Chains A and B, each alone.
Chain A
């Protein structure tokens, strides 16, 4: 039974400026979701994933096409956006649930469970402004975790919070799945998509370029991200190209507009999508002097890695004369293609992102 039917849905934005260009955030999206299905949505930043969810949630209206949604639909509010800082945690549960369309009666039935799940019982009558961001996040997720909606849209819920909390979230999402609820899951965490969704949509500049089994979608996505250079808009850096295999990686880029000819200080950082730094390569570590001849330079970085399959983020530091010229955080993504040497699934918070050769034997 299909609970979501999307027919030629599109959203265009008119960009202001001299050329009056049009941005197609979502183009002619057509798909169906069946009851109880968990479907992943992947795509690079700006591919239209969030816009698609916003259209389905009714946050913004499409410019073309139509969609039918049967049953209640809820999407997770970004951490704390629905919270009022001066109200207590308890009051904010009611407020946030009401914004999500849940009645006061329903919320009061679930109140004890929500508070218990959030783990902030002690502070529940304190104003939210006294909460840490982690506490706010836990409370926000606890609310959506107890909603009785038929269809749940989750946009990057795993991008924040500590590892214990992420595990708790993931367990809860699997419970939704067991309960037979329909899940739309947007994430850059490919292993989570792989675990949760049998079917995945791949978005690329607003269009659904693939709709089918998750393993095929992940393969296609790996090709997409590796074949195209990152479009970094920066004053000093251009032509960024990233290449990755299961054990090696290359980062190529050109520098321009350098203010002086002084020796460069370059740093390339590889981290997880949730911000944990894994590798850092700097020309200073290896006493390699890079001196630009004019205001430009071409740089090639080659490295070995032991990363599990998945999407990592590359950040680049450019400095000269002990001064930072630029720090490009999350400048591009580094994709390690799918392979499975040890039979594991997931670079998650328990198993970690790094592989090593090891042996275990009975002695």
Chain B
């Protein structure tokens, strides 16, 4: 058997084996966190090299959708039964959440390709490819939340006192679920690059499938209503809206959402760990 007698003392020993333990995987994520910060810093620096443009591009998409949906609603004369808040506030809150989820997942998928060179040449924890775009999108989310608060104030909706507990729950649901979904989408793309074309379509379908410009309470089909309610991203939207005065989700639903978001992230991490082994061979 191998001994370390001849190995120099006091130096870290890296053990290379066909399989890497989960605890080792987590340790590495922590050890190399400065590299993660550099990935985020790089993206921010590139985007905000001209600060005004950087800012505009980060909120351009949700604001354009905001305008379009408002116009369509007005022209079609459709009434929206929202849960006790002006439609504009309801809409911008939904778009803020959706925009984060979409840009984090797209960013993660694209980071595999834009970093192909360093993936095949050097080692860093591969999960940063999922985490970095998500953390970078969080800056955009922050700006969108400020805009949401602005829109709410404009329409006379004050932030409610409980939002100190509502906003962290909203962020938790959003981050953890998005991380899981981004990891799943990215792993699928690594396994088969054709998913790169399918996933953006699914993300835009989400704009209509999630309760962004209508609410689940409008539905008369109870099965469909349940499915809508089950989604932790809808949960995140509900919590954001609740911070501006809409009804607070019930405790049971909240616990269900929290558990579900944890399950998504677990599935995502497991899936990613399975495909990351062959990542450098597949790109």
Please determine whether chains A and B interact with each other in the same assembly.
yes
Residues of chain A touching chain B, judged by Cβ–Cβ distance below 8 Å, are 1-3, 5, 7, 9, 13, 35, 54-73, 75, 77-78, 80-82, 84, 86-87, 91, 94-95, 98-101, 103-104, 150
Interchain CB contact under 8 A, B7 and A2: yes
Q: Which of B254-283 contact A (CB under 8 A)?
A: 277-278, 280-281
> What are 19 A-to-B residue pairs whose CB atoms are below 8 Å?
A5-B2, A54-B120, A54-B280, A59-B121, A62-B16, A62-B17, A62-B18, A64-B18, A75-B122, A77-B117, A77-B122, A81-B118, A82-B122, A91-B42, A91-B45, A99-B38, A99-B122, A101-B32, A101-B35
Question: Which of A1, A59, A73, A80 sits near B14, CB closer than 8 Å?
Answer: A73
Complex CA–CA separation, A5 to B17 (angstroms): 12
With contacts A71-B11, A91-B45, A95-B38 taken as known, whether A61 is within 8 angstroms of B277 at the C-beta atoms is yes
- For the complex, give the distance between the alpha carbons of A35 and B19 in Å: 27
* A54 to B20 CA separation, bound complex (whole angstroms): 16
* Minimum CB distance partner of A10 in chain B: B18
**Shortest Cβ distance from A80 into B: residue:** B117
B220 located at the interface, meaning its Cβ lies under 8 Å from any Cβ of chain A in the complex: no
Task: Number of B interface residues at 8 Å Cβ cutoff, please give it.
Answer: 35
* Residue B78 lies at the interface, judged by CB distance under 8 Å to chain A: no
Residues on the B chain within 8 Å of A54, using CB? 120, 280
Do B281 and A99 touch across chains, with their CB atoms under 8 A apart?
no
Question: Which residue of chain A is the closest to B32 with respect to CB atoms?
Answer: A101
**What's the Cα separation between A94 and B35 when bound, in Å?**
10
Specify which chain A residues have a CB less than 8 angstroms from the CB of B6 in the assembled complex.
Answer: 1-2
Q: Flag if A66 contacts B17 (CB, 8 Å).
A: yes
Q: Report B102-122 CB contacts with A as 1/0, cut-off 8 Å.
A: 000000000000000111111
In whole angstroms, how far apart are the Cα atoms of A3 and B8 in the complex?
7
Report Cα–Cα, A3/B7, bound state, in Å: 6
**Distance in Å from the Cβ of B92 to the closest Cβ of chain A?**
31
Decide if A57 touches B20 in the complex (CB within 8 Å).
no
CB atoms of B7 and A82 under 8 A apart: no
A-B pairs with lowest CB-CB distance, top 8: A81-B117, A58-B123, A98-B38, A67-B16, A71-B11, A69-B14, A60-B280, A98-B35
B223 within 8 A of A: no
Contact B18 A63 (CB under 8 A): yes
Interface contact A55-B122, CB-CB below 8 Å? no
- CB of A84 within 8 A of CB of B123, answer no
| B132-151 to A contact mask, C-beta < 8 Å, 1/0 | 00000000000000000000
**B225-240 interface bits toward A, Cβ cutoff 8 Å, 1 = contact, 0 = none:** 0000000000000000
B residues less than 8 Å from A7 (CB atoms): 2
Q: Are A70 and B280 CB-contacts (below 8 A) given A59-B121, A59-B122? A: no
Whether a CB of chain A sits under 8 angstroms from the CB of B205 is no
Residues of B within 8 A of A66 (CB): 15-18
B residues less than 8 Å from A61 (CB atoms): 16-20, 277
Contacts of A60 in B (CB 8 A): 278, 280-281
Cβ of B15 and Cβ of A59 under 8 Å apart?
A: no
Q: Contact between A81 and B17 (Cβ–Cβ < 8 Å)?
A: no
Q: Is the CB of A87 within 8 A of B42?
A: yes
B46 interfacial by beta-carbon distance below 8 Å = yes
Nearest chain A residue, comparing its CB with the CB of B38: A98
- Cβ contact of A81, chosen from B14, B46, B121, B281, cutoff 8 A: B121
Q: Interface code B13-51, partner A: CB below 8 Å = 1, 0 otherwise? A: 111111110000000000010110010001001100100
**Set of chain B residues within 8 Å of A95, measured between Cβ atoms:** 38, 42
Chain B residue contacts of A62, Cβ below 8 A: 16-18
Question: Is A35's CB under 8 angstroms from B16's CB?
Answer: no
Q: Which residues of A contact B119 (CB under 8 A)?
A: 59
**Inter-chain contacts of B118 with A (CB < 8 A):** 77, 81-82, 99
**Known A-B contacts A75-B122, A99-B122, A101-B32; A68 and B13 likewise in contact (beta carbons under 8 Å):** yes
Beyond A75-B121, A95-B38, A150-B11, 7 additional contacts (C-beta under 8 Å) are: A3-B8, A7-B2, A59-B122, A60-B278, A61-B277, A66-B18, A69-B14
Are the CB atoms of A87 and B46 closer together than 8 Å?
A: yes
Closest partner residue, chain B, to A85 (CB atom)? B46
- From A1, A56, A57, A86, B8 is in contact (CB under 8 Å) with A1
Q: Quick one: given A70-B13, A71-B12, A101-B124, are A78 and B117 in contact (CB under 8 Å)?
A: yes
Question: What separation, in Å, do the CA atoms of A77 and B118 have in the docked complex?
Answer: 7
CA distance A69 to B11 in the complex (A): 10
Q: Closest CB-CB distance, B24 to chain A, in whole Å? A: 11
Q: In the complex, what residue of chain B is closest to A34 when comparing beta carbons?
A: B6
Selected contact of B123 from candidates A59, A70, A91, CB within 8 Å? A59
Note all chain B residues with C-beta closer than 8 A to A73. 14
